[in-house]
Structure formats: C-alpha cells, structure tokens
Amino acid sequence: MGPQSPAERHREVAAVFTDRVRGTRDWDVPAPVEGWTARSVVEHLTTWYPAFLAGSGVAFPPQPSAAEDPLAAWEGHVAAVQALLDDPERVEQPLDNPHIGSMSLGAATDMIYTTDVFLHTWDLARATGQDDRMDPEVCAGLVEGMAGVEESMRSSGQYGPRVPVPDDADPQTRLLGFIGRDPAWTPPAG
C-alpha cells in the first residue's frame, strides 16, 4: 500500500470509528480511560480538535453535543473534518502551533487528530464489546514514531504512564501499553 494523503487516511480511520459508534448500544458503559464512558470517547474527539483549530481561524459548523446524541455529534463532526481535508486549499493552509511546530493543516490533522481517532477506536470498541483489532502495521509504525518523542508526549498529560507488556508482544499490545492502556482491560462486570 502506498502513502496515503491526509484525506484518504482520515476517511479510512474515521470509517472504522464510525462503525464502532453505530454499533454502540450503551453510551454510559465505562471506557478504558480512567473516568470515561463510551460517550466520553466521542465527546473528546468531537470537541478538542475544533477547539485546537479555532486558534488558526478554522471554524467548524455547529454540531449536536455528544452528551445529547453521540451518533449525530460524531457524524456531523467527521463530515466537517473530511470536508476540510478534501479542500485542496484548506489542507495546505499553514498551521503554527507551539507543540507541533509549523506544518500544513493536512499534515497536522493527520499526525495528531487522525492518529487520535485510530487510538480511541480501541477504547470505544473495548468498552462496547465490539471488534477491537487494530492494523498491526499502523500500530508498529506509531510505536516506533512515538518512541522518539516519548518525553514530550508524556509531559503533555495526554498519555498515561506506560503499561508493561511482554517484550515479544504483538504491535497492538505494544502500542496500547505505550500509550498507557492496559491491553487486557475489560469493562467491569454488571
């Protein structure tokens, strides 16, 4: 598979998350992130990135709240992100940020937002009993890429402490442990 554009990668990653959103039957079940529910996962993804881009003059159309309607919130949000990435002028818009430096809006979206959707797909799937398998090549690439910036990642407060996993663990297990998830996490009974 050749390199994907930010728009192509987002379309593919977001489609998997969308399937998990549509498959969720109980939005109040606990999620693998301490204190979060399935609804919290959607709320996180639909609020932080519009707020992040607002400082660069990018405005998202009003969307339903994940607190009220997680499916509608996600579907409106994902369509807005995809429209942004599909716009040849907007995707090349320069974005300057003290945490990630200067890059195009498309590259920034791909690096931080689309990757976040990929990672949180596991959280939603695991919380709701759906397919939680992740692409092993993507997992291996993320672990490798994140290892070089681990200190800044951890200092951001967005990632928990590493969870130890066996040295011979598969790429998904290594990635989950790296980002602070317990790969064996299951929702509490009852």
Domain ranges of the chain: 6-132, 135-190
Q: How confident is the model at residue 55 (pLDDT cuts 50, 70, 90)?
A: confident
Q: What are 146-182's pLDDT values in tens digits?
A: 888 877 777 777 788 889 999 899 999 999 999 999 9
Name the helix (H) or strand (E) containing 97.
strand 94-97
Torsion of CA 116, 15, 74, 24, to 10 degrees: -100
Q: What are 123-138's pLDDT values in tens digits?
A: 999 999 999 999 999 9
With a cut of 90, say whether residue 99 has pLDDT above it. Answer: no
With a cut of 60, say whether residue 58 has pLDDT above it. Answer: yes
Is domain 6-132 annotated with CATH 3.90.1150.10?
no
What is the SS3 assignment for 62?
coil
Q: Find tokens 């299951």 and name the residue.
A: 186
